[in-house]
Structure 1
Amino acid sequence: MSSENQKKVNDLKSEGNKALETSDFEEAIKKYTEAIALDPENHVLYSNRSAALTKAARYLEALGDADKTIEIKPDWAKGFSRKGTALCYLNRYEEAASVFMEGLKIDPENAQLKNGLEDAQSKLSGPSGSQPLGNPFAAPDIMQRLEANPKTREYLKQPDYRMMIQLLQQNPNSLQSFQDPRIIQTLGVLLGFDLEQKQADASEDKDSEAMPEQTSMPSQRSNSNSQNHSNSVPENQPNSQAQEEKLKGNEAYKKKDFETAIVHYDKAIELDPTDITFRNNKAAVYFEMKEYDKCIETSEEAINIGRENRADYKLIAKALARAGKAFMKKEDNDSALRYLNKSLSEHRNPEIQKIVQVLDKKIKEDERLKYIDPEKSLEAKTLGNDYFKKGDYPNAKKHYDEAIKRNPDDAKLYSNRAACYTKLLEFNLALKDADKCIELDPKFSKYRYWWVIIIDVKKHIEP
């Protein structure tokens, strides 16, 4: 990783830590996600994001990050602490206890693991100790968990909602009598997943590059559930005429009649300007027409409308991703990476993660190639030689490093640095450079000479 990207990772991590300290959990998750996109093998970033996800009551995602932490760094006790904590919040106490014990094998004196194990074991009161018997609404930290979730935080402001929670705390069997969607959403939060979103997830077309959304989605999320819904129409019910125009636009899109599709999407927007899907679909059409500037502009409008009207985060992520792909088509890879990372901060779509990884590698390779300059390489080599003659081997190595970056196919540079490494007693690195030397120019006997010398010295110094 380049020093510039490493600095970005450290800065994003620090910003995430600050957000976590101030209980801005979603911002913390966003910053850690952006850092992970730059450094996907950094176990600390996954651990930190797992902590933030746990605080945000997104327990299944927290568990996934904890598993990734352990996968990357299996000898790090904190990864087991993160996983055990997530499992406890999911009421999977037997698994949690097992995980805490695994962590204690690595660090027997770890207080967090000990406390976690004690807590998990105390909750194992089900048949044969396999599952806890309990009421999820009676959890001692229920209010803290509901405050941490953006949806339920708003619900807590409504007196009738608080009353229902109190009733369920006293009598969980009364759950069957509640048909209020807020309670269904609350149960999902307490169990660690979004029940409201499952159907939408299943219907998402994950193979589509730019296909307009087919399903009708509410343009807003209403917090007015305390009203009598049988006597009034909710404010977030989709405008039927707008939906009809959208369907006509979708049909035109399928026939590749893009101009007609745009006409219908514009009519839908006019009828219901708060629905993000109409602009998302319009942006998809522009993408297919290769009008990438218009695609980006329309996607930006969709993002702003979505945020203003509290649209589903996956729809916002889709708009960000489409803008990112449009920037890729324009070969503006830096802007593309920025938008795609923003998309991942809204929703971790595996397809977008793969695109980000490939794009990041391409950007780094482009930067490497752009940096090549044989003339500047020669200048750095000359400085390295001067320092080598003076016996200042650390500075000599520094300039040979620069020379190699500027001209990585010059075998002589690796020969010079190999000589420098032998003076610094870094024999493994010297061997590596000598090997590279021979790979680039196997006919030059001078490089083979260094190979023999390094092996001989290594034999005499290492036991």
Structure 2
Amino acid sequence: MTSADEYKQQGNAAFVAKDYEKAAELFGKAIDVSEQPNHVLYSNRSACYTSLKKFAEGLKDAEECVKINPGWSKGYNRVGAAQFGLNNLEDAEKSYQKALELDSANKAAKEGLDQVLKTRESRQQMPDLGLGQMFNDPNMIEKLKKNPKTAELMKDPQLVAKLAQYRTNPQAISQDLFTDTRLMTIMAALMGIDLNMGDANGPEAASGAKEEPREEPKQAEAKTEEPLKENNEPEPMEVDEKGPQVAAEEEKAEGNKFYKARKFDEAIEHYNKAWELHKDITYLNNRAAAEYEKGDYETAIATLTNAVDEGREMRADYKVIAKSFARIGNAYHKLGDLKKSINFYQKSLTEHRSADVLNKLRNAEKELKKQEAEEYVDPEKAEEARLEGKEYFSKADWPNAVKAYTEMIKRSPQDARGYSNRAAALAKLMSFPEAIADCDRAIEKDPNFIRAYIRKASAQIAVKEFAAAVETLDTVRTKDSELNNGANAREIDQLYIKANNQRFQPEDVNENPEQTYQRAMKDPEVAAIMQDPVMQSILQQAQQNPAALQEHMQNPDVFRKIQTLIAAGIIRTGHR
């Protein structure tokens, strides 16, 4: 569907090409499809009608133009041009004067007014050719309508209006007489027929008497009026130079200056004036922004709610409405009402998807989740859930144990025991990856929680992450030695042996050294050890001098690596 702006551009092009009929038609289509009355479109079509000498239609459109935007000076130019075309000099003068009141620099209005004054002066200097009294007959129009020679002409309302104007301005006849051939017919009828006759077939005609023709009065040499200079350019993409919209924009600009200076009360005052001058919800959005910066969040919400309602009524751009919703969301966020904040961010995204608002929505959702979790914390209820979980665990009711320990975690998220206990229950359910994740959370909460490390290593062995299990056991062995004097050493050693045995378990007990090497090298840790230049040097020395290996094993790191290679079967001990 063609938009109003597209029709307008086509109309402008037709006007420039002097195809005024087509231009008028296109501007009319633009008027029909425009969502809101547009004064510029009526102004442009008025220009077309005036160019076509259809002054009555031009005046109608011009009057509609100034009705829509009474503060736009160019609209009164159109009214004046149409009135001048209809010979309404007094009204034309008033229209041009109104245009100049609104904009003293309006060049077209100055020229139009000058033309009206010159025309009036010209007419006053002209003799009325003795015809003034003739047109003063109050029954003249009715008599002309009854006259067969002029009855058809009297059906034109513009011509009838023109004849009526001659009563007050008979000097205009001298000009119009030579430009409008119909006036010659009317003049002949008025001058050659008895004005009191009611029937063309009266007594004199019946008797055959010939009426002596009246001598036409000699016309004085008439001074030709200079036609009104028409501006043949339409008003494409007009700007309301001094109209309400421009005045509103000026108020908005002033408001922006005060806003940037953080003088929010002054900014609000100017935004209010802008809204009063021209209904654009951008001004309400700006006012709400100032109210927001003042910390007056409730007032900002009320202003923005009004902006949305007004915007819906006037079918405002959905992007502007989206901004109103987003700012309501911001205000509720400041008030700490995250649920309402999220609700209005979602409404904003429904109107128009914006990356900025989407980020705010996601952050608000995270905050709400965190807030709800914090509000749920209750140490006493957490202890109740722990004891409940322990009871379920002792009864081998692993699912309910998991559920109880989950409740414990929610009630006391900083207690590492909840995660460790749930990991134990998950391991019983063979959910080893989840158990490892819970152990990691427990260790994060309490890095010295020995039981969490041991449970993690057990789960890692279960999923055949043997290298990772050995690393976990190395860590917990050190912590257990430092914190508990090795109280858990036996359990740790058993898991260590289990991890290494399963880690390098040969598929074939009769495999040869080459097969053992190839199998062991599939292990990332073994491959890294064998590629380590220092270890390569140590192993070469050991081949020539086995006693040197014992010296190197005094280094804990070398000892661990040698033990790994022994477990992998790459280094074979004498009893194997």
Structure 2 length normalisation: TM-score? 0.39
